[in-house]
């Protein structure tokens, strides 16, 4: 028997999200059902409902930063029990058989591909609906455990924003003695600063202006520069081992690549609308690399949650009622949020 639950959904690219109901599948042998307590608002939610990444399958119930408490588990479930604090991030399944799935890199599944938490088709052929709802049913292999010391509202944004920054920081060995720059101090960027600082790296924020400088330094940045000031590029030339670009605007890639040390890497995390224009010389000189990275696999996401608990790293959030979601979207688009909106699911 399916269960009817409340949700906020978009019915088209132009209409506001409205309250509705959706069906959640019956709890299968390997499923975990949980009450959603909080759901973060990610920029991807807005891109999807506004059909900026192609036409989605309406209605869309967005939300892939989900935290809650287990209410029921299937007969074969071993990892979770009723009452456990759990979360779900950007995907709820994958092929489970390809090399990447076997290696715990489900986000790069080369089989059927990862099954997105919303606007995707689940294994049983039904559409997936995300976290702007009151309950969800997910296979236990795609559920994360939220450590006790992380409040559920603050845990939610870790499941996309947190892992999106944690994974490249780990992959490119951010730590003591490393110079890390984070471009943009928004939902993603502020997590990058906190995580890189907790890993022991020296952290620099590169922001358009110095407007959020005080915040940046308080969040853990050692230095803060305005990219609107040409002096910044002269001063920081050749400095960084790793630059994480969290903004989706098309940057002057040559200028930013020039800030890398020999063998340094610039990683694209936002999704620019237009293809990147990359001049050869700043890449070739110094054997620099340009790369991309997308969220993280299940084992690494769990590792990130445990790391955040151990180091006391949590996002800066503004908890909102679900009825505020459309205004919240406008404010995200205007970069007017410090630093992540989180929907209180009790208001859905
Ligand atoms: Zn996201
Ligand atoms: Zn796979």
Kindly state the tokens that stand for 178.
Answer: 């490393």
Ligand nearest to the CA of 161: 1
Where is 165: in which H helix or E strand? Answer: helix 161-171
Distance 45 CA to ligand 1 centre (A): 7
Q: Report d(CA 277, CA 264) in Å as an integer.
A: 19
Distance 123 CA to ligand 2 centre (A): 13
Distance 317 CA to ligand 1 centre (A): 15
Distance 161 CA to ligand 1 centre (A): 6
Distance 109 CA to ligand 2 centre (A): 4
Ligand nearest to the CA of 107: 2
Residue 273 has pLDDT above 90, yes or no: no
Q: Is 194 left (phi over 0), alpha (psi -120 to 50) or beta?
A: alpha
Distance 93 CA to ligand 2 centre (A): 9
Distance 23 CA to ligand 1 centre (A): 23
- Write down the pLDDT at residue 206: 98
Q: What percent of the chain has pLDDT over 90?
A: 96
Instruction: Give the confidence band of 87 by pLDDT, cuts at 50, 70, 90.
Output: very high
- Write down the pLDDT at residue 318: 98
Please, what sign has the CA dihedral across residues 237, 243, 245, 246? negative
Distance 200 CA to ligand 2 centre (A): 33
∠ Cα 273 278 279 (to 5°): 150
Residue 272 has pLDDT above 90, yes or no: no
Distance 114 CA to ligand 1 centre (A): 14
pLDDT tens per residue across span 296-345: 999 999 999 999 999 999 999 999 999 999 999 999 999 999 999 999 99
Q: What percent of the chain has pLDDT over 70?
A: 100
Please give the C-alpha separations between residue 6 and each of 32, 53, 137, 216, 346, in angstroms, as whole numbers.
Answer: 18, 26, 14, 37, 10
């Amino acid at each position: 028997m399916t269960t009817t639950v409340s949700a906020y959904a978009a019915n088209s690219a132009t209409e506001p999200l409205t309250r509705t109901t959706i069906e959640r599948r019956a709890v299968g042998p390997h499923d975990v059902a949980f009450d959603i307590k909080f759901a973060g608002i990610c920029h991807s939610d807005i891109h999807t409902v506004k059909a900026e990444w192609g036409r989605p399958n309406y209605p869309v119930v967005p939300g892939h930063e989900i935290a809650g408490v287990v209410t029921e588990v299937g007969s074969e479930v071993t990892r979770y029990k009723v009452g456990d604090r759990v979360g779900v991030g950007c995907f709820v399944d994958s092929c489970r058989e390809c090399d990447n799935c076997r290696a715990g890199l489900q986000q790069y599944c080369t089989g059927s591909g990862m099954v997105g938490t919303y606007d995707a088709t689940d294994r049983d052929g039904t559409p997936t609906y995300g976290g702007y709802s009151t309950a969800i049913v997910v296979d236990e292999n795609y559920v994360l455990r939220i450590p006790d010391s992380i409040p559920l509202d603050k845990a939610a944004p870790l499941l996309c924003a947190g892992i999106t920054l944690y994974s490249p920081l780990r992959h490119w060995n951010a730590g003591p003695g490393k110079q890390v720059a984070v471009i943009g101090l928004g939902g993603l960027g502020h997590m990058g600063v906190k995580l890189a600082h907790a890993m022991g790296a020296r952290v620099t924020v590169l922001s358009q202006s110095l407007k959020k400088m005080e915040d940046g330094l308080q969040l853990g940045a050692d230095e803060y520069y305005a990219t609107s000031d040409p002096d910044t590029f002269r001063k920081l030339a050749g400095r960084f081992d790793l630059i994480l670009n969290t903004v989706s605007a098309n940057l002057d890639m040559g200028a930013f690549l020039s800030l890398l040390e020999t063998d340094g890497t610039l990683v694209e995390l936002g999704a620019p609308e237009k293809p990147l224009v990359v001049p050869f010389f700043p890449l070739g000189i110094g054997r620099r690399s340009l790369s991309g990275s997308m969220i993280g696999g299940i084992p690494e996401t769990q590792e990130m949650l445990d790391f955040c608990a151990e180091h006391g790293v949590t996002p800066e959030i503004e908890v909102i009622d679900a009825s505020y979601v459309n205004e919240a979207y406008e404010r995200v688009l205007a970069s007017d949020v410090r630093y992540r909106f989180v929907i209180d699911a009790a208001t859905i």
